[in-house]
Amino acid sequence: MSLLPRLANMTSELPIKRVEAIFVGSPPAKQVARASGVSEVEIEGRILRCFVCGSFQPFLEALRGHEVVSLKSTPTHDARRRGV
């Protein structure tokens, strides 16, 4: 039994979340923008907004060393973000 077809379908099924994080100081915009699975990073003062596709681990690692006071993640169903 091959798992390849199932694995190939997983990439098109990865969850995409709209994320908003509020920081004590300046958000780490460059680090977050370079994180795997992160796109459309926007900064407004101490607020960082972006989209995260799949695992949150690269996004969370990009936040290391920066104090987050609020973190919100909301599912999105925008087909444009999936490349459809």
Residue 45 has pLDDT above 60, yes or no: yes
Residue 6 has pLDDT above 50, yes or no: yes
Identify the domain containing residue 23 by its residue range: 14-82
The pLDDT-based confidence of 13 (bands split at 50, 70, 90) is confident
Burial of 28 (0-12, 13-18, 19+ CB in 10 A): buried
With beta carbons less than 8 A apart as the criterion, state whether 49 and 41 touch: yes
In a domain, 39, yes or no: yes
How many independent structural domains does the chain possess? 1
pLDDT of residue 54: 95
In a domain, 6, yes or no: no
Mean pLDDT of 62-80: 89
% residues pLDDT > 70 (the chain): 77
pTM value?
Answer: 0.77
Mean pLDDT of 52-75: 97
Angle 36-33-69 from CA coordinates, rounded to 5°: 105
CATH label of the domain that carries residue 78:
3.30.70.100
pLDDT of residue 67: 98
Q: How is 2-48 classified by DSSP, letter by letter?
A: --HHHHHHHHHH--EEEEEEEESS---HHHHHHSTTEEEEEEETTEE
